A and B are shown apart, each in its own frame.
Chain A
């Protein structure tokens, strides 16, 4: 048997949900282990073998100086580096700190803030090292994760679309909730989840971050015409993907100081 490519899974500031998606691939785990050597995956096994690795999956954002250094070492150990999830690709929900003073948060949360060493911002992995592929989502879709790994093994481009959630809605036959008056971020949001929320008559929350060509200003104008307040618009664009450039820029337009009403 030829040696299998070696896989490593890394965690930075995150909730572990995305790497859990890999363990969630219950039906495929055995064939996955046949195709790739799971060499470093602390969440799954304490048996860790040293690098270098052929494929690294990186979860989480960079929020400490220590992690900013550690990701460089991960990059050095990895031939192909894929970031997984909103934290690793956009800074995650913890990127809300980017819009406020981190010291205020630390003082509010910790009894002894002097022991906390953290950066002022939460940033995606791509802000620190070169990334070969970004897989979006909060959390990622395990089928898309399998597609990325399978495509890597086959040496082909993963079939991961960067268009809007709307196209997924239409492919599955869901009736558009936006046109029926429900606030929905689908038209500016990256596909990948399979358009779950609109299938249950909920608007899209934007878990997969901005799509390839997001017209956030036009969508904000629509949401406003549907009755959204400035505060609601601020929150709509400032969630799991608050740090993603298009959403961050749009959310700033709805800050009280930017003319939006006070919360």
Chain B
């Protein structure tokens, strides 16, 4: 059982070399270790078995519609913000079979998809991502209908968080109260301590599973200097936050400004390609497809990631409810920042900045929401 409250200060320190022992310990306990690695010019998440696969000495330079890898002047393993992937890819996969059916003498025999058996250990989960996982937990597990496949993967998962030391220019987790310090439910949390003299990790324990793992490592007791150094890492991350926004006004003002002219203005730039929703670590919408075989004897229902930017998404008898791009953009942003609070009790945005960097035309949710929610109310414009 993980603690949802802030962890008491742990008192352990491991070396960079011992990080390999952590990965080995996870693999020995049957986990597939998923962590950051460099591929295709980006830091993506993939299965790892050695620390050599971590993005040592790399960082990410991000801006609206722009992402580039850059060399660092040190060998930091976690010296970057967040990349194009999020853990949602593993907990809520892009495609999943829900059931299969076979025709029988008296109709169809249905079989539910087998319960997932994957056992993931996520290495390098950021504060914003912990918050995103907590939000998807709320969506998939804490309502009347529980998503059993998500719950199975989530129950099996172990989280090694890494406090963020390097926010990107697109980051605004401080403004969304989700980072840069990891406060959610982790099993272990690391702070990378790197200077001319050393390359260590401060380790905080967040669960019995985390404590058991730490016991298996060659950990030293952390000194006051270690704790101070870790605090300094997070404090400088806070200072380097890419942007600051006032998110407190979003819920009310976005709801009340559905006719703001900015919605149609954004639509001129918006490609309605759906990238923002795909990279968002909290967007959870799916569609289902039914497939049959040529003989008509077998059928299956498959669930796939969907986006509120497609026409099918709001299709009901007679056509799509949200015909214009402005209406679809408004639906996405208003849900994310405003009606999400009514629905799930928190904002749907964690300030990770992915939708800003991975929007091909660089539409900036922070800038757009701020413009629409400006103190001066707009003059009424065209309805999207």
Q: How far is the CB of B307 from chain A (nearest CB, A)?
A: 6
**Could you tell me the distance between the alpha carbons of A31 and B294 in the complex, rounded to whole angstroms?**
7
- Assess A170 versus B94: contact at CB under 8 Å? Given A153-B296, A164-B271, A186-B273: yes
Determine whether B153 belongs to the interface, using a CB cutoff of 8 Å to chain A: no
Cα A218 to Cα B271 with chains together (Å)? 7
Of A8-16, A64-72, A81-89, A171-179, which binds chain B? A171-179
Residue B321 is within 8 A (CB to CB) of chain A in the complex: no
Question: Is A170 a contact of B272 with CB atoms below 8 Å?
Answer: no
Q: Which residues of B contact A186 (CB under 8 A)?
A: 273
Which chain A residues border B309 with CB–CB below 8 Å? 163
Whether B294 and A34, one on each chain, are in contact in the complex, defined by CB atoms closer than 8 angstroms, is yes
Contact B296 A213 (CB under 8 A): no
Considering the complex, give the chain A residue whose CB is closest to the CB of B324.
A213
Chain B neighbourhood of A184, CB < 8 A:
360
A154–B296 CB distance below 8 A: yes
> Given the interface contacts A166-B278, A167-B278, A180-B67, does A215 sit within 8 Å of B305 by beta carbon?
no
A161-B310 in contact (CB<8A): yes
CB of A212 within 8 Å of the partner chain: yes
Flag if A215 contacts B290 (CB, 8 Å): no
Confirm or deny: B268 has a beta carbon within 8 angstroms of a beta carbon on chain A.
yes
Q: Complex Cα distance A212/B40, Å?
A: 29
Using a Cβ–Cβ cut-off of 8 Å, how many residues does chain A contribute to the interface with B? 45
Q: Does B232 contact A (CB under 8 A)?
A: no
Interface residue range, chain B = 35 or more
Contact with A along B49-76 (1 / 0, CB 8 A): 0000000000000000111100000000
Asked if B29 lies at the interface with its beta carbon under 8 angstroms from chain A, I say: no
Which residue in chain B gives the minimum CB-CB distance to A151? B292
Check B312 against A163 for contact (C-beta < 8 Å): yes
| A172 & B268 in contact (Cβ 8 Å cutoff) | no
A28 touches B305 (CB 8 A): no
Is A120's beta carbon under 8 Å from chain B?
Answer: no
Among A32, A156, A213, the one with the most B-chain Cβ atoms within 10 Å of its Cβ is A213
Contacts of A31 in B (CB 8 A): 293-295
- The interface bits of chain A over 220-249 (1 if a CB of B lies within 8 angstroms of the residue's CB, else 0) are 011000000000000000000000000000
B-to-A contact residues, CB < 8 Å: 39-42, 44, 65-68, 83-85, 89, 94-95, 268-275, 278-279, 289-296, 304-305, 307, 309-312, 325, 357-361
Residue ranges of A at the interface with B (Cβ–Cβ < 8 Å)? 28, 31-32, 34-35, 146-147, 149-151, 153-154, 156, 159, 161-164, 166-167, 170-176, 178-181, 184, 186-188, 201, 211-213, 215, 217-219, 221-222
Ordered by A's residue number, 16 sampled pairs between the chains whose C-beta atoms are within 8 Å are A32-B294, A150-B293, A150-B294, A151-B292, A153-B296, A154-B292, A156-B292, A159-B289, A163-B273, A163-B274, A164-B273, A166-B278, A167-B273, A173-B94, A175-B39, A215-B268
Ranked nearest first, the 5 interchain pairs of A and B with the lowest CB-CB distance are: A170-B278, A187-B273, A159-B289, A187-B271, A171-B94
Q: Apart from A167-B278, A176-B84, A218-B271, list 14 A-B contacts with CB within 8 A.
A: A150-B292, A156-B290, A161-B310, A161-B312, A163-B311, A166-B274, A166-B278, A171-B304, A173-B94, A176-B358, A179-B67, A213-B272, A222-B65, A222-B360
